Amino acid sequence: MNMKILVLLAMTSLILLSCFSAGCVDQTASQTDVLADVISSLNKTLTDTRAEADKAADAYAAGPTPENGRQALATLYQRTTLTHDLLIADENGIVRAVYPDNIQSALDEDLSRYPPNKEIFAGTDVYVSEYMVLENGLKAYLLSVPIRSPNGYAGYISLSFDPYRFFGAEEQKVLEKGYNLWVMQTDGIQVFDADVSEAGVDLLNDPAYQSVREMTHLVAANPSGETKYVYTADIGTDRVEKTAVWDTFTFGGREWRVVLTKSAEING
């Protein structure tokens, strides 16, 4: 082969390699790979949040006073990106400290009839509540860690977090790769979607979602999988075929089906 051609090929290969390394060529990741990255990122976020909550629990256990409790919660609030409201409850479920001050009314409240409790923390060091609506109207989860003293179980720290802040942090990343993200619990309750109005919708039973009922039952019944389905927009004219890939994210005893979709218009 002509030496000039060999040199040209070598230079072209070097330029392409440099361009890929610099990110100037679109290296589209597969739907499955992007989903794996999303779940890994979600796990890191909650793992880091839990680690900071453990530090706050240790700080309070070293000096279990209301003042130290509030300081531990304030520090936790500043060090985590998810946190909305925080509280410390003692071993009897009585609230001893809160942060920020807009939930002062919760002080001395008896939460013993609600999880978590000593029995739950006998088997785990982190607990995530059911999806709930808080008194302020926020749809949220509670992440809780135990407080342990030399005498044993001494209560817990709970922080509320908005699933839209949690899952939404991943949405822009997948949009840039041409995908959409939505999340539901195994009971069919959707806790994240690009359309905020759909938060809390029961995808398995709500008549308005009859067109995707078969698909959502499939997702709820299987920890992971892939399927195609046709989605009709609200106005009933635009129809798209969606390829859905999903997997399960588990943390603190809670499970979420994390679903990544790619759309293709149906012509005719």
Q: Which pLDDT band holds residue 264 (cuts at 50, 70, 90)?
A: confident
Tell me, what's the pLDDT at 136? Answer: 79
Give residue-wise pLDDT tens across range 74-94: 999 999 999 999 999 999 999
pLDDT at 186 over 60: yes
pLDDT class of 268 with cuts at 50, 70, 90: low
* pLDDT one-digit tens code per residue, 9-43: 343 334 333 433 444 334 468 999 999 999 999 99
Model pLDDT for residues 143-180, shown as the tens digit of each residue? 999 999 999 999 999 999 999 999 999 998 999 999 99
- Residue 108: is it exposed, middle or buried by C-beta count within 10 angstroms (0-12/13-18/19+)? exposed
Coil, helix or strand at residue 59: helix
- Quick: pLDDT tens for 216-232: 999 999 999 999 988 77
- What are the residues whose beta carbons fall under 8 Å from the beta carbon of 95, sequence distance 6 or more? 87, 88, 89, 106, 107, 108, 109, 111
**pLDDT tens for residues 246-256?**
999 999 999 99
Looking at domain 39-162, does it have CATH number 3.30.450.20? yes
The count of residues in the chain is: 268
- Which pLDDT belongs to residue 234? 57
Model confidence pLDDT, tens digit, residues 96-153 = 999 999 899 999 999 999 999 999 999 999 999 999 988 878 899 999 999 999 999 9
Residue 239 confidence class, pLDDT cut points 50, 70, 90: confident
The pLDDT score that the predictor gives to residue 210 is: 86
| Paired tokens of 30 | 């597969």
Q: Does the pLDDT of residue 71 top 60, yes or no? A: yes
Going by pLDDT thresholds of 50, 70 and 90, the confidence category of residue 7 is very low
CA–CA dist 188, 45 (Å, integer) = 24
Helix axes 66-79, 31-61, angle to 10 degrees: 160
Domain ranges of the chain: 39-162, 164-265
Average pLDDT of span 58-84: 96
- Find out whether 215 and 228 touch, Cβ atoms under 8 Å: no
Residue 214 has pLDDT above 60, yes or no: yes
CATH, range 164-265:
3.30.450.20
How would residue 243 be classed by pLDDT, with cut points 50, 70 and 90? Answer: very high
